[in-house]
Amino acid sequence: MMSYTLHTIQQWYPEDDWFWERTGKKIANRNLKISICCLLLSFCVWMLFSIITIHLNAIGFHFSNTQLFLLTAIPSISGAILRVPYSFVIPIFGGRFWTAFSTFILIIPCLWLGYAIKNPTTSYSEFVLIALLCGLGGANYASSMANISFFYPKAHLGAALGLNGGLGSLGVSVIQLVTSFIIFLPMFDEKWILLANGQKIWLQNAALIWVPILIVLSAIALWKMNDLPGIKASFKLQSVVLKDKMMWILSLPYLATFGSFIGFSAAFAMLSNTLFPEINITYLAFWGPLIGVLARPIGGVFADKFNGIYMTLINYILMIILVISVFLSLPNILSIEGSFVGFYSAFLLMFFIAGLGSGSTFQMIATIFRQHVIDRLTLKGVNQTLATRNAMTETAAALGFISAIGAIGGFFIPQIFSLSLLLFNSVYYALIVFILFYIICTIITKFSINK
C-alpha cells in the first residue's frame, strides 16, 4: 500500500519485487524523466563558456588565449567544488525541492551573461564571476545522481544512473549545437554585431534561450517529483564516506573517464580555434560531446556484461593511443600545417572512449560501493534491512563526491592546454601530461581495485 503526504511518499520498498512492479517503478520512472530534463539543462548552462569564448573577441572584446581558456575552465572548477556540498543535500532538503530550486537559480548566470555580452564595457573579472555561477549547473549532477539512486533497487540502479547521467550529459553537446544556430537569429532583442565576414551575430541568445525553459522545468519538478522521507540524514551521518578508502580508490577511474570527457568538451572548441584558425569550428564542436554522451549508455551495458575493471584498463590504453594520434596530427610533427582531419578524428574517438568509460565506471562504482557498505555494516552486526538503507544513503553521498572529483578534469584539461601554449607555444607538453596520467591510472587501477 502506498501513502502520500502531498508530494512525500511515506513508504518506499524498492527491493520488494511486488511493490516495485505494482507501484514503485512508475513513480521512480516519472522522477527519473524529470530529473534527466533538469540535468540536461544544467549541463547546458555549465558549458555555456565552452562555445561562447570562441566568439567574444569577434564581437569586440580583447581577451588573450590564456584568459579565454580560463573562462572555459572556471565553470568546471566551481562546479566540482560545489558538487561536494551538493552530494549531501538530498537527504537534508529532499529531492523534489532541491531539483526545482537548483534548476531555477540557473536563471541568474543566464540573464547576467546575456546582459554582459551586449555591453562592450564588460570587464574580464565580471565574465569570471558569471563563469563561476555557471558552475552551479555542473554541481547539479551530484545532487541529481544522488536523488535518483534512492528511487531504484540495486538490480536497476546501474541502468537508472546511466540514463540520468548519460542523457543529462547530453547538455554538453546540446549547448554547442543550439548555440551554433541560435546566435545567428534575431530572437530576444535587436542588438546585433557585424562580424568580419559580414554576418550578423546575436551572441546573447546563447544564454537567454535557456531562461524560459529553466522556469518551466523547475515548476514541473516542484509539481510532479516526489520526496522519500526514509532517506533523511544529516551531513554528519553522510560524511562517513569521506573516511572510506574505497570511495577514494573508486574516484580515480571516474576522474580519468568523465574528467577527460568534460575537460575535452570544455577545451576542444577553443583549442581547435587556436591550432587551426582557418577552420570554422562553430558547426563541428558539438559532435565530440554528442558522441561521448551517446557512448555512455553503451559503456553501462558493457559494464553489466563484462568485468568493469578490465573495461576500465582497456579504456586507459585506448586513450593513450588516441592522445598519441592527436600528437601526430599537430602542426610541425608530420607536416608543417598539421592535419585538421587527423586532429578532429582522433578527438572524436577520444570523446567516444571517454564517454564509454564514464558509463561503465560510474555503474561499476555505484554497484561496488553499495555492496561494500552493506558488507561492512553486516560484519559489524547491523541487520540486513538497516544495512541496506544506510548503504543507499552512503552510496548517494559517495556518488556525488566522486562526481566532484571527476568534474575537476573540466578545469585542469583546459588549463594544461593553456599553460602549455603560454610557456612553450605548443600543446605537445599538455598531451605528454595526459599520456603520463593515463599510464598512472592504469597502474593504480590494476593494483588497487583488484585488492
pLDDT digits (tens, 9 = 90+) for 353-369: 998 888 777 667 777 78
Backbone torsions φ then ψ of 426, nearest 5 degrees: -160, 155
Report helix angle 287-305 to 171-182, nearest 10.
160
Backbone torsions φ then ψ of 443, nearest 5 degrees: -65, -50
Q: What is the pLDDT of residue 182?
A: 85
Q: How far is CA 175 from CA 52, 182, 403, in A?
A: 10, 10, 21
| Closest C-alpha among 257, 254, 263 to residue 416 | 263
**What is the residue type of 171?**
G
Q: Which of 184-193, 201-210, 237-246, 430-439 has the lowest mean pLDDT?
A: 184-193
Residue 361 to residue 186: CA distance in whole angstroms: 43
* Numbers of helices and strands, H then E, in the chain: 20, 4
Q: What is the pLDDT of residue 218?
A: 97
Q: What is the pLDDT of residue 342?
A: 93
Residue 177 to residue 170: CA distance in whole angstroms: 11
Asked whether residue 233 carries a pLDDT value surpassing 70, the answer given is no
- Domains defined for the chain, CATH in brackets: 4-449 (1.20.1250.20)
Q: Cβ distance 144 to 106 under 8 Å?
A: no
Question: What mean pLDDT is reported for the chain?
Answer: 84
For the record, the C-alpha cell of 48 comes out as: 555555456
Q: What is the pLDDT of residue 4?
A: 47
Q: What is the pLDDT of residue 191?
A: 66
For the record, the C-alpha cell of 277 comes out as: 584558425
Site of grid cell 562580424: 195
| Closest C-alpha among 214, 206, 179, 210 to residue 118 | 206
Backbone torsions φ then ψ of 5, nearest 5 degrees: -125, 100
Residue 327 makes CB contacts below 8 A (sequence gap 6+) with 333, 428, 431
| Closest C-alpha among 292, 298, 82 to residue 171 | 292
Backbone torsions φ then ψ of 290, nearest 5 degrees: -65, -45
User: 338-362 in b/e burial notation, b at 16+ Cβ within 10 A?
Assistant: bbbebbbebbbbbbbbbbbbbbbbb
Give the predicted TM-score (pTM) of the model.
0.78
The SS3 of residue 163 is: helix
Q: Report DSSP letters for 66-129, one per residue.
A: HHHHHHHHHHHHHHHHHHHHHTTSHHHH-HHHHHHHHHHTTHHHHHHHHHHHH-TT--HHHHHH
Select, from the ranges 236-245, 317-326, 437-446, the one with the highest average predicted confidence (pLDDT): 317-326
User: Residue 237 burial (CB < 10 Å; 0-12/13-18/19+)?
Assistant: middle
Q: What is the pLDDT of residue 199?
A: 72
**What is the residue type of 203?**
L
Q: Cβ distance 221 to 34 under 8 Å?
A: yes
pLDDT digits (tens, 9 = 90+) for 134-158: 999 999 988 898 888 888 887 777 6
pLDDT digits (tens, 9 = 90+) for 170-220: 888 899 888 888 888 777 666 656 564 567 778 888 999 999 999 999 999
Q: How far is CA 146 from CA 90, 151, 209, in A?
A: 7, 10, 28
Asked whether residue 373 carries a pLDDT value surpassing 80, the answer given is yes
Q: Which of 200-209, 304-313, 314-323, 382-391 has the lowest mean pLDDT?
A: 304-313
Asked whether residue 351 carries a pLDDT value surpassing 90, the answer given is yes
Select, from the ranges 40-49, 193-202, 265-274, the one with the highest average predicted confidence (pLDDT): 40-49
For the record, the C-alpha cell of 7 comes out as: 508530494
Asked whether residue 8 carries a pLDDT value surpassing 90, the answer given is no
pLDDT digits (tens, 9 = 90+) for 90-122: 878 888 999 999 999 999 999 999 999 988 889
Q: What is the pLDDT of residue 212?
A: 96
For the record, the C-alpha cell of 175 comes out as: 549547448
Instruction: Choose between 155 and 266: higher pLDDT.
Output: 266
The end-to-end CA distance of the chain, in Å, is 43
Asked whether residue 374 carries a pLDDT value surpassing 60, the answer given is yes
Site of grid cell 564517454: 355
Instruction: Choose between 162 and 129: higher pLDDT.
Output: 129
| Closest C-alpha among 154, 94, 98 to residue 391 | 154
Asked whether residue 406 carries a pLDDT value surpassing 90, the answer given is no
Looking at residues 390-399, what average pLDDT do you find? 77
% of the chain exceeding 70 in pLDDT: 89
Q: Cβ distance 106 to 136 under 8 Å?
A: yes
Select, from the ranges 18-32, 153-167, 222-236, 372-386, the one with the highest average predicted confidence (pLDDT): 18-32
For the record, the C-alpha cell of 304 comes out as: 553489466
For the record, the C-alpha cell of 28 comes out as: 521512480
Instruction: Choose between 57 and 13: higher pLDDT.
Output: 57
pLDDT bracket for residue 38 (50, 70, 90)? very high
